[in-house]
Structure 1
Amino acid sequence: MRTSIRNSICLACGLLALSACKKDFLEKDPTELLTADQIAEAGKWNEDVALGFVNGTLQTFFKSLQSTPSSHDDFAQKAFDIESDLMSGDMELQGGQSYGWFTSVANLLSYQKFETLNYSVWRISYRTVSLANGFFRSVGSDESVPEKQNNPKTLYNWGQVKALRALAYLNLAHFYGKPYSDATKSSLVVPIYRAADDASKPGKLATLDEVYQFIVKDLIQAADSMDKSKVVRSNKQYLNATVARGALARAYMDMGQWEKAYDVANTVITTQAKNYPLIAAKDILTNGFNDYKTPEFIWAININEDNTGKLVSFWGHMDVFTYSYASVGAFKGINANLQAEIPDTDLRKGWFNASRGLPLSKFFSTAKPTVQGDRTWLSDIVFMRMAEMYLIASEAAARKGDEASAKKHLLTLLKERTAADNYAAVETKINGLSGDDLLKEILYNWRVEMWGEGFSLTVMKRFKIDIQRSGRNIYYPNQIIKWDDPRLTYQLPQNETSNNPLIK
């Protein structure tokens, strides 16, 4: 599968070279890819053209330098993950200030409308939306698959693209919207663009509730469509119904719909745990999160010579064993205060080195133990894994009053994060918790288990916790950042507000 994404995109772009393209409003239809009419026509004789559109949409989640030609903190979803963890303070920038990458985020300045990283989230997310809508127009609709196109591959691809569009809007909601509540759900956040909309015209801002309802609808339809297709994905790089349901559980957690979040996450666990078993305790310090084939990974990308971002990558910024920024001093480590909370009985304590809290045993290239040893930049990236589903199920169950289920799911995770001779004590501890104490334990596990994977900011806001940065952070050392600090919500980009007359 090494070149399948590249080849299908190249086929699509080759056809495009034969004709001119219009420039739509705010680049919602990027000119380097096919228009909907072209792809619909070409797809009559070569189904790989439609696949090229799907792959083009997928690629917006991992291609480097999509938003800016020279910003080395521009590599799509994994850059967004670093941004949100740095903003929360659970990840700390400890050095390398002279390089400039991610410094505006760590310094809580990236929220400003003229900041490059602010615009990067917007631009890449709406590129995903644009390509998705182009695909939907090519098959007829984003509301339902037309009967004439109702074949297994179309159903499957339609579901994939539905989920990708929803994930793009989930990013927009997380960065540009305040946490969902009765007080905020009527606030205006970002425009919603549907396939039937005129791509040359700007859109008005939708409310936070409208955005989340749009996300939920897309994800439900995505899962149903992929299930109905009965197509088995060829590779973990592509999406399936489990990915869509995992994203749906995320959305329900954002909305505080605990019953629905639990039902979805519990369904994923019940039906898919055997397919995506948790990384075992014996492997937790040696896995490295560098292989997309890791059984626990639900959705992951195979990074190869064709799609590597090289220096401009998650591994370049996080792993000292990969030649890039982290290896020359731009260190990113766990908050020292959070690190101090990790007990000796928790195997994840070994993820982080003692002096700086660098993730030397969580994220590492196969070149370990040689610092800068990896100069091929081929470590893979993960977007979703089963541990998240256990944490969602545990938290949602606790919040809806089902503490027995909350403990069951949490203990399933902790059994693989605890040495066998210590597990009985951990089990006794968890079973003795209730109420706020149980929620605090779940919070701790979110922050440690998912560290560096882009969940810290949403968890911080959902739990309404203020986080004290440690003395290792080069910005705001030892200062407390409140969960509702306005700097944790992005302003609408200046490029959008200057060009969209529907935004006042």
Structure 2
Amino acid sequence: MKIFNKKIAVLAVLLVLITAQSCKKDYLETKPTQQLSAGTVFSSLKGAQGAVQGIHRMLYLYDAQGTFGLASLNINMDMLGEDLVMHNAGNGWYNAAYRWTEFRNVASGDLNYYYFYLYRIIRNANEVIDGITQETADFKQLKAQAHYYRAFCHYMLVQLYGVRYDTTPGAANSGLGVVLSLKNDFAKKPRNTVAEVYASINSDLTIAATDIAGYTRKAKDEININVVKALQARVALTTGKWAEAVTLANDAMVGFPLMSRADYEAGFNNTSNSEWIWGSTTIEEQIDNYFGSFFAYMSLDLSSTNIRQNPKKINADLYNAFPNTDVRLKNFASTATEFAPLVPSNFTTARYQSKKFRAAGLNFGAGGLVYMRSAEMYLIKAEAQARNNDEPGARATLFTLVNARNPNYVLSTKTGAALIDEILLNRRLELWGEGRRFLDLKRLDAPLDRTLTGGHTATLTGNVLNVPAGDKRWQFLIPRAEIDATGADIMKQNEL
């Protein structure tokens, strides 16, 4: 694999340092940035901290109006599902993803962006892992965070560009995954198997969990043991390790109690929320362009053209599947004008539009970005319990979560597939807009079905109302630039 040329790669760690310290003008000014070597950077704790902070910053690094790191990838994950409904085409952003054409075009800008973006984070994580040689606790926890980021990005890449992980007992999972990038050696490498990629992910996370166990972080932007356990729980669920998923989800949620019903309506924009395990706290000075922010596309009230013209809505079928005593429904409009008092008169409003995400101001793109919550851990635990023949435990876990959202909810009496369906239904409503739907459909080997009365139109979806389970479109294509650089004989393309 040959993703980036050598000149850019050598500067990788320097670029993250510049990014991390862009507001600290005196940082490392004693030596021209171009002359800094990796050895210089990692010879001090401050330098190593700067490199890891730079990786944190890359999660919301602005590239272009529709591509701004992990939050924009999460938008795409929901655009590819059935639960987020576009009111109209607006000014065009994310339309191609909604129509399932963006990631089946080898020259697509977004296809290329996310592929190279995730590998860029991996490359910077490799710099940290290889550059830190000190064995003190402070250095080891920084190295652990880099192992986490490498695992996280490989996990995202293999889910998007690789074959679905088959959870059938004994399945070899020998299909094509993605290239494992564990050294910045510029070698042209073929794609690893799905099994090999997941083995590496689990290895990195085991190292991270060991070396970060005693670390107390300063903010939720940083990685701590809860974040590592939460990702391990996600991976265990994806790979059908049910007992492990239960234990890991339990561990991950410790110290992150479920939010109050009042907080659930507060706008999902503050990392101080009690159940947010991992997120980014952005400030206006860090947002290069407020149109390049999550809130410019998914909020109720940021004054961007996209928000004013194209409010994002929940699938009506999903909305109608829940009782009106569930606080989660209060984040969606029951009538076309319910949220009109909350926005200026030039904003389009619509029935079922979302106010789950609120901007800090009409022209303010910064705010808290959520990546992991304890609510998701309850859902992982409940699903894994149900699939592992612990239905009483699954019902009790589900009750804890849903009763916190709906005081009238009673303990489920469902069993078998019906119980799993109830858990998955709550997962859809709970995690709406947080970037989980495409990944869930793929891991469950479930079809995309937009044909009910939920609000999708053939015009806006490009007539993509159904995508069967196992269809070739569930795999993103490998970018043409990667194929050309590595060679088609080495870098195999997914089915066109």
TM-score, normalised with respect to structure 2 = 0.85
Shift of 1:456: 0.7
Taking a change above 3 Å as real, the CA distance of residues 42 and 453 of structure 1, as seen in their structure-2 partners, is closer
Q: Residues of 2 paired with 1:16 and 1:219: CA distance? A: 35
Q: Alignment partner for residue 144 of structure 2, among 159, 164, 167?
A: 159
Residue of structure 1 in register with 2:107 after alignment: 114
CA contact (8 A) 2:300 2:355 kept: no
Shift of 1:168: 0.7
CA contact (8 A) 1:262 1:393 kept: yes
Residue of structure 2 in register with 1:30 after alignment: none
Residue of structure 2 in register with 1:41 after alignment: 40
Q: Counterpart amino acid of 2:320?
A: A
Aligned length: 449
Residue of structure 1 in register with 2:374 after alignment: 386
Residue of structure 1 in register with 2:21 after alignment: 6
Q: Alignment partner for residue 267 of structure 1, among 247, 251, 259?
A: 251
Q: Residues of 2 paired with 1:194 and 1:64: CA distance? A: 26
Q: Alignment partner for residue 300 of structure 1, among 276, 279, 287?
A: 279
Residue of structure 2 in register with 1:27 after alignment: none
Residue of structure 1 in register with 2:396 after alignment: 408
Q: Counterpart amino acid of 1:64?
A: Y
Q: Residues of 2 paired with 1:127 and 1:170: CA distance? A: 14
Unaligned runs of 5+ in 2: 1-17, 337-349
Residue of structure 1 in register with 2:13 after alignment: none
Shift of 1:14: 5.5
Q: Alignment partner for residue 313 of structure 2, among 329, 333, 337?
A: 333
Q: Counterpart amino acid of 1:201?
A: A
Q: Counterpart amino acid of 1:450?
A: L
Taking a change above 3 Å as real, the CA distance of residues 436 and 316 of structure 1, as seen in their structure-2 partners, is same
Shift of 1:233: 0.7
Residue of structure 2 in register with 1:205 after alignment: 191
Moved more, 296-305 or 441-450: 296-305
Taking a change above 3 Å as real, the CA distance of residues 472 and 237 of structure 1, as seen in their structure-2 partners, is same
Shift of 1:95: 1.6
Q: Counterpart amino acid of 2:252?
A: V
Shift of 1:151: 0.9
Residue of structure 1 in register with 2:12 after alignment: none
- What secondary structure does 1:191 align onto? coil
Q: Counterpart amino acid of 1:104?
A: A
Q: Counterpart amino acid of 1:186?
A: S
Q: Alignment partner for residue 133 of structure 1, among 126, 143, 163?
A: 126
Residue of structure 1 in register with 2:34 after alignment: 19
Q: Alignment partner for residue 247 of structure 1, among 231, 237, 244?
A: 231
Shift of 1:262: 1.3
Q: Residues of 2 paired with 1:291 and 1:42: CA distance? A: 32
Among the aligned pairs, what percent are the same residue? 26
- What secondary structure does 1:384 align onto? strand
Moved more, 387-396 or 342-351: 342-351
Taking a change above 3 Å as real, the CA distance of residues 4 and 80 of structure 1, as seen in their structure-2 partners, is closer
Taking a change above 3 Å as real, the CA distance of residues 10 and 55 of structure 1, as seen in their structure-2 partners, is farther
Shift of 1:88: 1.6
TM-score, normalised with respect to structure 1 = 0.84
CA contact (8 A) 2:163 2:176 kept: no
Residue of structure 1 in register with 2:94 after alignment: 102
Unaligned runs of 5+ in 1: 21-33, 66-70, 141-148, 368-373
Q: Residues of 1 paired with 2:236 and 2:446: CA distance? A: 20
Q: Counterpart amino acid of 1:177?
A: G
Q: Residues of 1 paired with 2:234 and 2:158: CA distance? A: 12
- What secondary structure does 1:173 align onto? helix
Q: Alignment partner for residue 74 of structure 1, among 67, 72, 75?
A: 67
Q: Residues of 2 paired with 1:87 and 1:157: CA distance? A: 35
CA contact (8 A) 2:89 2:95 kept: no
Shift of 1:365: 2.3
Q: Alignment partner for residue 410 of structure 2, among 417, 421, 427?
A: 427
Q: Residues of 1 paired with 2:280 and 2:92: CA distance? A: 27
Shift of 1:489: 1.7
Q: Residues of 1 paired with 2:67 and 2:48: CA distance? A: 27
Q: Alignment partner for residue 347 of structure 1, among 296, 316, 327?
A: 327
Q: Alignment partner for residue 55 of structure 1, among 35, 41, 53?
A: 53
Residue of structure 1 in register with 2:261 after alignment: 281
Residue of structure 2 in register with 1:312 after alignment: 292
CA contact (8 A) 1:173 1:211 kept: yes
Taking a change above 3 Å as real, the CA distance of residues 104 and 14 of structure 1, as seen in their structure-2 partners, is farther
* 1:221-240 paired onto structure 2 within 5 Å: 221-227=207-213, 230-240=214-224
Q: State the superposition RMSD in angstroms.
A: 2.3
Taking a change above 3 Å as real, the CA distance of residues 167 and 13 of structure 1, as seen in their structure-2 partners, is farther
